Amino acid sequence: MGFLSDNMDQAFGAYEKGLDKMDYNPESREVGRVISVARGVAQVEGLKSVRSEELLTLGNGVQGMALDLLPDSIGVALLGRSADLSAGDEAIPSGTVLSVPVGEALIGRVVDPLGNPLDDGPMLDTNQTRPIECEAPPILMRAPVDTPMASGLKVVDTLIPIGRGQRELILGDRQTGKTAVALDIILNQKKGDVVCVYCAIGQRSTSVARVISALRKHGAMAYTFVVVVEGDAPSGMQYIAPYAATSMAEYFMEQGRDVLIVYDDLTRHAQAYRQLSLLMRRPPGREAFPGDIFYIHSRLLERSTRLSPKHGGGTLTALPIVETEAQNISAYIPTNLISITDGQIYLSPVLFQKGLLPAVDVGKSVSRVGGRAQPVAYRKVSGDLRLTYSQFQELEAFARFGTRLDKDTRKRLDHGVRVRELLKQDRFSPLSAAEQLVILWAASLGLLDEVPLDKIGDIQDFILADARDNFADFERLPKADSNDKIWEDLKLNIKKCIDLWGVSDASS
């Protein structure tokens, strides 16, 4: 008995000593229950203190975002498979809003909207995060758009210029080259200092793979990263994708850098949000879209701007893409985005079928800001070119109704046809500002009106090669004002090239 008593005394002594050292601070944690699950959404009860857009963990690790805060329940947009959930599962709030990793480690990577790698590479080496929803910079932090975002495309840089910090919509029917135009603009930043972001929303895997392959093939991944959510992903992931990509891009903008972001495309983003809203039983509006469909895109695109020098001077240029049906640009989502953005590039299926690529319809395209950012030299050629080209389009439509045309009308038609031919450009072949100005100056002067239409491409290459090699002021051309003697010198140089080409062409 003495032995047992000694052991009990030791045990109680150790127990009391442990109690003295124990820091007992009980914590309460709110835990809810899933009451219903649908495709992409879940209803949760028992969470009274959850904030809007707070991250939740449901069931066995399925993440979701609080989207609908109702008196008796919470509508959760699922970021994982709804098949892994069932009624009665626990719902645990994280206490933080949904955030994504940001930093230099993103460049060159392919990630999902949560920052998880999709390129078989390691996890992102960064400990910095940003909420996916951030307030747009207030007006006093912004500066005017006055620096060009060169696209390398003659028709865009001349007639529909884009400035750094601008929001330029790209719209058109499916398979008209919308992604191709955005991709060419990204590739043209190769020699610059612009960080590019390509956000694929609801695209097919093959389409995204082609884009990533093109970016890698042309060396663009050295300054680009890709955010991908495919068409079979949960609607919640498709919904957060553009906001997450914008937060990643804003990190670089706040470092004082220039950023270009492409949203491909916001039609599918709107459809994903409509699906979430209908499943959460929100009242439908026009075309069954919820009443705040305009707001979800306006608050996204308002984050693109140019910051004032006092706040770093960084820029975020947005190129949202939207798909139209049967050339109907007055549909609900296209008109919403046209009213939000600072201009649009419209791609016509008619021009696409004729092989006039890029199929930009100049009459329906406009840039409301970029003209102020356009280099001075472009103004020498763009004004007359836009006017004569618009007149040509009207005359061409009118000329179809009759065959008897006077000499002046026939001359305008011949000139317009050659201008349109000169505005054609192959994919992945961007031109510098000086190269564009040489060709456009020749077109605006009518120096190529006598050249056979099927030879326009050949003489363009001949003139550019000669200008690069023999025109002494070639590099200075983009900075020349309208009264500079360089324009007369260039005119003489182009005429000389045309004469030389005519001789060599005749001899061949």
Q: Which pLDDT value is given to residue 386?
A: 82
Asked if residue 401 has pLDDT above 80, the reply is: no
Mapping DSSP to helix (H, G, I), strand (E, B) and coil, where does residue 447 land?
Answer: coil
The confidence band for 370, taking pLDDT boundaries of 50, 70 and 90, is confident
CB 170 within 8 A of CB 181: yes
**Which of 70-74, 217-221, 495-499 has the highest average model confidence (pLDDT)?**
217-221
Percentage of the chain with pLDDT > 90? 75
Average confidence (pLDDT) over 381-386: 82
C-beta separation of 505 from 461 below 8 A: no
pLDDT surpassing 90 at residue 221: yes
In the set 257, 368, 386, 468, the catalytic residue is: 368
Position 181 scores a pLDDT of 97
Q: Mean pLDDT over all residues of the chain?
A: 91
Of the listed ranges 140-149, 428-437, 493-502, the one predicted with least confidence: 493-502
What one-character-per-residue DSSP string does 374-412 give? S-HHHHHHHHHHHHHHHHHHHHHHHHTT-S---HHHHHH
Could you tell me which of 271, 278, 250 has the C-alpha nearest to residue 39?
278
Strand-pair partners of 315 = 258, 306
Distance of CA 455 to the CA centre of its chain: 36
- Span between the terminal Cα atoms of the chain, in Å: 121
Contacts 24+ apart (CB under 8 A), 282-285: 282/68
In the numeric block, which tokens belong to residue 140?
A: 């006093």
Q: So what's the pLDDT on residue 23?
A: 66
Report the pLDDT value the prediction gives residue 379, as an integer from 0 to 100. Answer: 86
Task: Tell whether the model's pLDDT for residue 508 goes beyond 60.
Answer: no
Instruction: Identify the pLDDT of residue 402.
Output: 60
**C-beta separation of 385 from 443 below 8 A:** yes
What is the structure's pLDDT at 62?
94
Residue 17's Cβ-count burial label (10 Å; 0-12, 13-18, 19+) is: exposed
Judge residue 292's burial from the number of C-beta atoms within 10 Å of its C-beta, 0-12 exposed, 13-18 middle, 19 or more buried: middle
Which residue from 288, 376, 361, 373 is spatially nearest to 329, judged by alpha carbons?
361
Mean pLDDT across the stretch 207-215? Answer: 96
Q: What is the CA radius of gyration of the chain?
A: 29
| Assigned token pair, 243 | 């906001």
* pLDDT of res. 409: 84
Please give the average per-residue pLDDT across 146-173, as a whole number: 95
pLDDT digits (tens, 9 = 90+) for 473-494: 999 999 998 889 999 999 999 9
How does DSSP classify residue 228?
Answer: E
List % helix, strand, coil for the chain (3-state, nearest 5): 45, 20, 35
Mean pLDDT of 448-469: 92
Phi, psi of 357 (to 5 degrees): -110, 140
Q: What is the pLDDT of residue 2?
A: 52
Torsion of CA 494, 386, 157, 453, to 10 degrees: -50
Tell me: cis bond preceding 414? Omega within 30 of 0 counts: no
- The residues, ordered by sequence, that sit 6+ positions from 272 with a Cβ below 8 Å of its Cβ are 201, 202, 235, 238, 239
pLDDT at 398 over 80: no
Per-residue pLDDT tens for 330-365? 999 999 999 999 999 999 999 999 999 999 999 899
DSSP state of 288: G
Among the listed ranges 193-197, 405-409, 452-456, which one has the minimum average pLDDT value? 405-409
Q: Does the pLDDT value for residue 456 go beyond 80?
A: yes
Q: Does residue 306 carry a catalytic annotation?
A: no
- CB of 86 closer than 8 Å to CB of 34: yes
CA–CA separation, 483 and 496 (whole Å): 22
Q: How sure is the predictor about 392, in pLDDT bands with cuts at 50, 70 and 90? A: confident
Supply the pLDDT for residue 459: 93
pLDDT given for residue 504 in this prediction: 59
Architecture of domain 32-97: Beta Barrel (2.40)
Q: d(Cα 319, Cα 200) in Å, to the nearest integer?
A: 12
d(CA 493, CA 471): 7
List of residues 6+ apart from 396 with CB closer than 8 A = 413, 416
CA distances from 115 to 130, 209, 310, 344 (A): 11, 18, 31, 30
Weakest mean pLDDT among 27-31, 110-114, 446-450, 486-490: 27-31
* 101-374 homologous superfamily: P-loop containing nucleotide triphosphate hydrolases (3.40.50.300)
List of residues 6+ apart from 211 with CB closer than 8 A: 179, 183, 198, 200, 226
Q: What share of the chain in percent tops pLDDT 70? A: 94
107: tokens are: 């460049």
Answer whether 236's CB lies under 8 Å from 64's CB. Answer: yes
Quote the Cα angle for 141-145-150, to 5°: 135
Tens of pLDDT, residue by residue over 41-59, are: 999 999 988 998 999 999 9
For domain 377-507, which architecture applies? Up-down Bundle (1.20)
- Name residues whose C-beta falls within 8 Å of residue 419's C-beta, 6 or more positions apart in sequence: 385, 388, 389, 392, 443
* pLDDT computed for residue 22 by the predictor: 66
User: Residue 94: what residue type?
Assistant: S
pLDDT, position 383 = 77
> Minimal CA–CA distance to 53: which of 89, 113, 99?
99
CA neighbor of 316 nearest in space, from 250, 221, 247, 240: 250
Domain assignments of the chain as residue spans, ordered by start:
32-97, 101-374, 377-507
Q: What is the pLDDT of residue 26?
A: 66
So what's the pLDDT on residue 297? 97
The whole-number average pLDDT for the span 168-192 is 95
pTM across the whole model: 0.91
